[in-house]
């Protein structure tokens, strides 16, 4: 297994390097002059020249990329041309909110999706199966922003059970070590702060996790139904193995491969889909920040943030590959 993980990690290097080249070229190909976009009405020739020279926009593209790659290897993501703040500082402030929301939504999707999908397969053709399939179909067609507003209206505004926006009650004097608010409360033993941050995550996580939940239910159901009809399952039942053992060892384990693939794909989509949810619930994540950076052609911010999202996506796929190796040892030799 260790050799398998090392091989997968080694593959990440050329992938990320190629991605950095494509990202760098794509951003430079966007229409508009970043210096003029940044200055707006103050874009005098002298000011444009000053900004162009300050950020190296007048240098050849290969030279700009070499400088960018060298800074990247040292952990320097540059300075935002819009705010003048180091990109790393903005990253450490905003990314934890997005990752915390995405993880909470993924937890909702996986914890509910796999058991419900398995239950639907075991009750194939019943009223419960029809209800779960219909519910999963509805979950895939309802837009995230509509569901977010609906949940907010019902449970936060009308019923008052949950907070309407934000990540934490501003009246709580919490210590933020990592900017992962739930984790910070646990690390500093500020249980009320951790619980309040968790409560603030409930509605956003449900809204964001509904589509992955629906997809996982359908994939789990289809996979379990397919595996149940395999010869090795019928053989195990014919040999007199306990039904619970057959379901756990032969059915559910072998049905997990397509489910793992789906979970990995949905994790990447959660990071990009969090933008709308963050807007509805006023979460200070990467959504509005990236939107403003695109509007002003803020290259350092766009390069740093998008590359990190790609890194997270690659690491998630690595975890999925390792999960393949755990579920099916034959995968480790490939």
Contact 220, 111 (CB under 8 A): no
| Cα within 13 Å of Cα(279), Cβ side | 12
Q: Report if pTM > 0.75.
A: yes
CA distance 334 to 259: 20
- The predicted pLDDT at position 96 comes to 87
CA distance 228 to 248: 11
Q: pLDDT tens digits, residue range 138-196?
A: 888 888 888 888 999 999 888 888 888 888 888 888 888 888 888 888 888 888 888 98
CA distance 81 to 72: 17
Q: pLDDT tens digits, residue range 259-301?
A: 888 888 888 778 777 777 888 888 888 876 777 777 777 777 8
In the predicted structure, residue 334 carries a pLDDT above the cut 60? no
CA distance 208 to 210: 6
Q: pLDDT tens digits, residue range 230-264?
A: 777 778 777 777 777 777 777 877 788 888 888 88
Q: How far is CA 334 from the centre of its chain?
A: 27
CA distance 186 to 177: 11
- % of the chain exceeding 90 in pLDDT: 7
**Section 128-143 average pLDDT:** 86
Q: pLDDT tens digits, residue range 138-153?
A: 888 888 888 888 999 9
Q: Which residues contact 71 (CB under 8 A, 6 or more apart)?
A: 77, 78
- % of the chain exceeding 70 in pLDDT: 92
* Average of per-residue pLDDT values in the chain: 81
Residue 72: φ, ψ to 5°: -65, -40
Give the residues across from 79 on adjacent strands.
86
What separation in angstroms does the CA of 68 have from each of 23, 43, 57, 60, 300?
12, 26, 12, 12, 9
Banded model confidence at residue 5, pLDDT cuts 50, 70, 90: confident
Both structure tokens of 210: 């509904």
């Amino acid at each position: 297994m260790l050799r398998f993980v090392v091989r997968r990690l080694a593959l990440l290097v050329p992938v990320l390097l190629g991605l950095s080249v494509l990202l760098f070229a794509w951003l430079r190909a966007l229409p508009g002059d970043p210096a003029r976009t940044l200055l707006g009405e103050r874009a005098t020739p002298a000011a444009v020249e000053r900004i162009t020279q300050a950020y190296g926009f007048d240098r050849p593209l290969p030279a700009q990329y070499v400088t960018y790659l060298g800074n990247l290897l040292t952990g320097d993501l540059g300075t935002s041309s819009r705010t003048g703040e180091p990109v790393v500082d903005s990253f450490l402030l905003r990314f934890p909110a997005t990752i915390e929301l995405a993880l909470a939504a993924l937890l909702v999707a996986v914890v509910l999706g796999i058991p419900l999908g398995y239950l639907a397969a075991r009750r194939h053709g019943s009223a419960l199966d029809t209800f779960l399939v219909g519910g999963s179909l509805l979950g895939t067609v309802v837009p995230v922003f509509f569901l977010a507003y609906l949940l907010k209206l019902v449970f936060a505004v009308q019923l008052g059970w949950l907070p309407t926006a934000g990540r934490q009650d501003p009246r709580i004097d919490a210590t933020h070590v990592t900017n992962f608010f739930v984790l910070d409360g646990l690390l500093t033993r500020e249980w009320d702060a951790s619980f309040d941050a968790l409560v603030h995550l409930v509605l956003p996580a449900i809204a964001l996790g509904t589509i992955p939940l629906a997809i996982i239910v359908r994939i789990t159901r289809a996979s379990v139904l397919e595996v149940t009809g395999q010869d090795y399952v019928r053989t195990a039942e014919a040999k007199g193995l306990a039904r619970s053992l057959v379901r756990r060892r032969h059915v559910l384990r072998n049905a997990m491969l397509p489910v793992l693939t789906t979970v990995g794909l949905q994790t990447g989509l959660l990071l990009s889909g969090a933008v709308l949810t963050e807007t509805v619930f006023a979460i200070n994540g990467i959504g509005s920040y990236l939107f403003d950076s695109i509007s002003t052609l803020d290259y350092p911010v766009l390069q740093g943030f998008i590359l990190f999202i790609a890194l997270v996506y690659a690491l998630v796929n690595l975890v999925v590959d390792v999960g393949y190796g755990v579920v099916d040892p034959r995968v480790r030799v490939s």
